[in-house]
A and B are shown apart, each in its own frame.
Chain A
Amino acid sequence: MENNNLYNYILGIADNSLILGQRLGELCGHGPSLETDIACTNISLDLLGQVRSYYQYAAQLADDGRNEDTIAMMRPEREYVNVLLVEQPNTDFAYTMARQFLFDVYHFSFLTQLQNSADNTLAAIAKKSIKEVSYHLRFSSDWIKRLGDGTEESNKRIQNAINDLWTYTDELFHQTEADKQMISEGVGVDTSKLKEQYYNEVSSLLKEATLEVPESKYFQKGGKKGIHTEHMGYILAELQYMQRTYPNLTW
């Protein structure tokens, strides 16, 4: 394939939304209130809708019989390149919202830049997605504030969640070979330029929510190279169940 870097770059974006969408999909019918239940399902729906556009584009580039579903569901675990953050479990509503918020801040600023991509298709997907993601960010930010400045218990729970997930934030800004190549061609977003703003925004909202900004400097990485946490296999077991059990069928 001629444009392997672009293909890999697209997967790097789409896999994040796929796995996060999958995680949120687990919660359907189990939310703390009907409103949050519907909202989480809605965010999952948005993300998976975006995922379809990315993978359809990737399939078009691959031009070898792969389609959006085989790309999404038929890869071995080591070929998924999502960040570790999005595969973390729905331990409780605090973890779900912390994961969402830490991703949304990144996702929003990433898509803001991707709208200027030299690749017209990616720019168009970004323009369409950013409206949805600005809602995700508002939703998760509001919940960080509610939980942080709510009750003693909610404060403790959201602080724990933020502390635990903090270790996965740095990886959002790591760059793969494909990323570097795409940045140099004006297609990709130079995430190194987003990092400072990211931590500023996150910190300022955490403070507003009466939460402590974690100080740990120890970060986890690996997802972008396909080295995942132990959670990933279970996510894929469900995601791939039908495609693996009944290969090559249409549904």
Chain B
Amino acid sequence: MSEAQIKSLEEEFEARIARDEKIEPKDWMPEKYRKTHIRQMSQHAHSEIIGMLPEGNWITRAPSLRRKVALLAKVQDEGGHGLYLYSATETLGISRGEMFEQLHTGKAKYSSIFNYPAITWADIGAIGWLVDGAAIINQVALCGTSFGPYARAMVRICKEESFHQRQGYEIILKLTEGTPEQKAMAQDALNRFWWPALMMFGPRDDDSPNTAQSMKWKLKRKTNDELRQQFIDQTVPQAELIGLTIPDPDLKWNDEKGGYDYGDIDWDEFWQVVKGHGPCNKERMKARVAAWENGEWVRDAAMAYSEKQNFLRKQESRAV
């Protein structure tokens, strides 16, 4: 294809996005669009799968049968989201095996929040309330993204995530209605998860070089700082309602901007965790790699069995 042809295709492509048309897997797309989507969507899928680990840890220890069942259902949903997102990403011409390979070698990232440990039952509440809450804000914005399979996945996933968020908030609410020990447990979880949750929206706009391109492709509808502000404004009253204190002495309502001012985020910590040196990065990766390696013989067996069955079926149909 000549450069002029490519240029005209690109122009038509950008025009389609501007008209709010969805791009489908078989449509022509610029290589950069494909690669950016593979990166972001697989990262999203990986986050769902890694996210199963800190919460999965609490299934055997959940304090009541009702909580245990709800947590199982939630973690199962996350697995389902992962499956759905991997499939959506596969439409861009990459296999699930390749995506796992990228995860296991550290080439692909996942949400840093899951590198923080879930050490008390209240953390399960905080993860639902804050982490899923932050995720929804990101994801609602993506329901209108330009790539069709991703947008449709987001619509479906958002419905379940908002249920998870309410469930998490309800866990925390119950603790705040409980004994002083339970209240302290809730406050402690908020103290530990608040700042990492704010970091989920990514670096400050000044430090986010890809934002302009992503906005154009509707992979982002709002900037990192806008989304972060939305999360803070939404969450502070929720904390106040149940008598918890946001661990930020600089947090103050700003009438002029109609939102909260907040303290400085520890960006050194952010980059430390992103670069693989958070409290649980190594553990999470070890768990995933072990699951994959220990499961190899199982996947091989399933493949061998299915090939044998296909062979038998072919022989039978020949005999008929």
Residues of A that sit less than 8 Å from B by CB: 22, 25-26, 28-38, 41-42, 44-45, 48-49, 51-52, 55, 68-69, 72-73, 92-93, 145-147, 149-151, 153-154, 157, 235, 238-239, 241-243, 246, 249-251
Contact = CB atoms under 8 A, between A and B. Distances in A.
Contacts of B49: 29, 34
B121 interface: yes
Interface in B54-90: 56, 59-69, 72-73, 75-76, 79-80, 82-83, 86
A238 B9 CA distance: 59
- Interface of A, secondary structure class, is helix
B65 A69 contact: yes
Nearest to B86: A34
A33 B301 contact: no
Interface stretch (B34-42, B216-224, B245-253, B291-299): B291-299
B177 to A, nearest CB: 8
B291 A151 contact: no
Contact of A147 (B61, B294, B295, B301): B301
B299 A32 contact: yes
A52 B299 contact: no
A52 B305 contact: no
B291 A31 contact: yes
B94 interface: no
Contact of A44 (B52, B72, B80): B72
B89 to A, nearest CB: 13
B315 to A, nearest CB: 16
A203 B296 CA distance: 27
Contacts of A52: 65-66, 69
Contact of A146 (B68, B82, B182, B301): B301
16 contacts: A22-B60, A32-B292, A35-B83, A37-B79, A38-B79, A38-B83, A41-B75, A44-B59, A48-B65, A69-B65, A150-B304, A151-B301, A153-B297, A246-B63, A250-B64, A251-B121
A38 B80 contact: yes
A154 B298 contact: yes
Given A30-B291, A52-B65, A68-B65, 5 more contacts: A25-B72, A29-B49, A29-B52, A33-B295, A55-B65
Given A34-B83, A251-B174, A149 B308 contact: yes
Contacts, number: 140
Interface of B: 49, 52-53, 56, 59-69, 72-73, 75-76, 79-80, 82-83, 86, 121, 171, 174-175, 178-179, 181-182, 287, 290-292, 294-306, 308
Contacts of A49: 69
B301 A41 contact: no
A68 B64 CA distance: 8
Contacts of B65: 48, 51-52, 55, 68-69, 72
Nearest to A146: B305
A32 B289 CA distance: 10
Contacts of A249: 63, 178-179, 182
A154 B302 CA distance: 9
Nearest to A248: B179
B301 A150 contact: yes
A31 B296 CA distance: 10
